[in-house]
């Protein structure tokens, strides 16, 4: 894919920041497990937060592809910083830009442009891959809703200000109206962080449990009113497609960084009186890594530049799923092989490879597992609905909304 001169400039600016201060702080962000507020400030100054927000709201109206170019560069050095760029341009913020009222869009834009990384709250202890099993409930009380329930593994728990929370909605008579999406701001009464997860990687980014206890949602904070289960769920998944491309790009960027390290090291490190890069065993490994990386990049760029059915503002779900499956699995293999090129040093905390190996492992899990995404791809390919419940497969043509 041919990038425009403007995109190449954007990419070069991101690379400069990434190779400089972001890279210098990456090991410390991992060690301290502290959210890198300094990096947020750098991203803000560079204009990498809220890039996709329309210009009339203070953003730059940039495309998902532009955002992907920046994410890739950040992920080469620091995964946590790259994930901040994802969430300050995709996911919850794009959902608000697509579905929100003018006031909601302004609220979200102001928060993000001032350094917020919104949180998207879907997963629950008993509703992971099967998000339809969510039990967090929003009870309608007049024109307000009262939320009760628990979400876990929420990225940015405790540091995010804007929250997009999905819940099952019930009317006053107790009838199930489907899934709705609600906005809440950190500090609201009834919104509490009740646990921080202990993660193997991505350590500077808090992942946490949120508990809602009679969290009151006023009408102005209802983003997606309940419109039947299927519709609400489709809107929810739509909003996730940009996030998926972003997550796949973080994985690809980590792999690109790891391969760069491995290439330099292979030329520097000597054994048997020659640089290890002269051994064909390593040359072919490096060539396979490069090939997988190029394929991942092309798939992600294509998915980022696509648009979904019916004029959706989000990337095509099928391309986004394929790109995330491929890029996340390839990245795990590439980083693992890069660590191998470093020998014992790859296993040492004095070198970045072990951090990259811990970080990259997440990307076949979060944002839809590689298995669940394969079901989505198969469903499109076969033209069949593939419900995963015991009710069994339904061999019926797919209806496009």
Ligand X SMILES: Cc1cc2nc3c(=O)[nH]c(=O)nc-3n(C[C@H](O)[C@H](O)[C@H](O)COP(=O)(O)OP(=O)(O)OC[C@H]3O[C@@H](n4cnc5c(N)ncnc54)[C@H](O)[C@@H]3O)c2cc1C
* 320 contacts ligand X (rule: CB under 6 A): no
With respect to ligand X, which residue has the nearer C-beta, 108 or 122? Answer: 122
Residue from the set 248, 367, 376, 379 that interacts with ligand X by CB under 6 A:
367
Cα dist from 397 to 38, 93, 372, whole Å: 51, 33, 20
**278: Cα separation from own chain's centroid:** 38
Residue from the set 22, 122, 250, 255 that interacts with ligand X by CB under 6 A:
122
Tell me how far, at minimum, the Cβ of 16 lies from ligand X, in Å: 28
Tell me how far, at minimum, the Cβ of 182 lies from ligand X, in Å: 14
Q: Number of residues in contact with ligand X, rule: CB under 6 A?
A: 21
Residue from the set 29, 49, 75, 120 that interacts with ligand X by CB under 6 A:
120
Tell me how far, at minimum, the Cβ of 155 lies from ligand X, in Å: 3
Q: How far apart are CA 125 and CA 133, in angstroms?
A: 10
Q: What is the CA radius of gyration of the chain?
A: 21
Tell me how far, at minimum, the Cβ of 197 lies from ligand X, in Å: 8
Q: How far apart are CA 187 and CA 182, in angstroms?
A: 15
Tell me how far, at minimum, the Cβ of 86 lies from ligand X, in Å: 10
3-class DSSP state for residue 150? strand
| 383, 390 Cβ separation under 8 angstroms | no
Residue from the set 81, 89, 136, 155 that interacts with ligand X by CB under 6 A:
155
| 218, 188 Cβ separation under 8 angstroms | no
Cβ count within 10 A of residue 110: 15
Find the residue with minimal CB distance to ligand X: 128
* 365 contacts ligand X (rule: CB under 6 A): yes
Residues 6+ apart with CB under 8 A from 41: 115
* 340 contacts ligand X (rule: CB under 6 A): no
Q: Token pair of 276, please?
A: 């290890």
DSSP assignments along 66-128, one per residue: HHHHHHHHHHHH-HHHHHHHHHTTSTHHHHHHHH--HHHHHHHHHHHHTT---EEE--BTTBS
Tell me how far, at minimum, the Cβ of 122 lies from ligand X, in Å: 3
* 132 contacts ligand X (rule: CB under 6 A): no
Q: How far apart are CA 19 and CA 199, in angstroms?
A: 26
Site for ligand X in 204-223 (CB under 6 A): 207
* 371 contacts ligand X (rule: CB under 6 A): yes
Residue from the set 129, 148, 312, 340 that interacts with ligand X by CB under 6 A:
129
Tell me how far, at minimum, the Cβ of 228 lies from ligand X, in Å: 21
Site for ligand X in 187-206 (CB under 6 A): 202
Q: Please report, as ranges, the residues that interact with ligand X according to CB under 6 A.
A: 120-123, 128-129, 153-155, 202, 207, 362, 365-369, 371-372, 375, 388
């Amino acid at each position: 894919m041919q990038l425009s001169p403007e995109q190449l400039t954007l990419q070069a600016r991101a690379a400069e920041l990434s190779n400089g201060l972001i890279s210098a702080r990456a090991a410390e962000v991992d060690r301290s497990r502290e959210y890198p507020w300094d990096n947020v400030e750098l991203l803000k100054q560079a204009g990498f937060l809220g890039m996709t927000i329309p210009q009339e709201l203070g953003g730059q109206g940039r495309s998902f592809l532009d955002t992907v170019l920046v994410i890739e560069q950040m992920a080469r050095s620091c995964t946590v910083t790259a994930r901040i760029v994802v969430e300050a341009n995709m996911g919850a913020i794009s959902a608000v830009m697509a579905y929100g009222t003018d006031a909601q869009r302004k609220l979200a834009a102001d928060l993000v442009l001032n350094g917020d990384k919104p949180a998207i709250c879907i997963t629950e202890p008993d509703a992971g891959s099967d998000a339809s099993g969510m039990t967090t409930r929003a009870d309608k009380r007049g024109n307000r809703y009262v939320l009760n329930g628990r979400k876990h593994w929420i990225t940015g728990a405790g540091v995010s200000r804007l929250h997009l929370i999905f819940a099952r909605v019930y009317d006053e008579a107790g009838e199930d109206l489907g899934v709705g999406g609600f906005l809440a701001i950190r500090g609201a009464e009834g919104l509490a962080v009740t646990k921080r997860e202990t993660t193997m990687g991505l350590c500077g980014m808090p992942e946490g449990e949120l508990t809602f206890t009679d969290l009151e949602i006023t009408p102005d904070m209802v983003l997606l009113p309940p419109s039947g289960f299927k519709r609400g769920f489709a809107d929810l998944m739509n909003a996730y497609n940009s996030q998926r491309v972003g997550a796949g790009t973080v994985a690809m960027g980590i792999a690109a960084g790891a391969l760069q390290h491995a290439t330099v090291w292979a030329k520097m490190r000597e054994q048997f009186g020659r640089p290890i890069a002269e051994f064909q065993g390593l040359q072919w490994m490096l060539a396979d890594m490069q090939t997988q990386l190029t394929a991942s990049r092309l798939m992600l760029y294509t998915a980022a530049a696509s648009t979904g059915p019916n004029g959706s503002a989000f990337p095509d779900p099928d391309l986004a799923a394929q790109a995330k499956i491929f890029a996340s699995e390839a990245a795990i293999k590439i980083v693992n092989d890069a660590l191998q090129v470093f020998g014992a040093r790859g296993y040492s905390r004095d070198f970045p490879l072990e951090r990259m190996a811990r970080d990259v492992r997440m990307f076949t899990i979060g944002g839809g597992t590689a298995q669940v995404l394969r079901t989505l791809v198969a469903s499109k390919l076969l033209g069949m609905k593939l419900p995963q419940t015991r009710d069994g497969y339904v061999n019926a043509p797919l209806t496009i909304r």
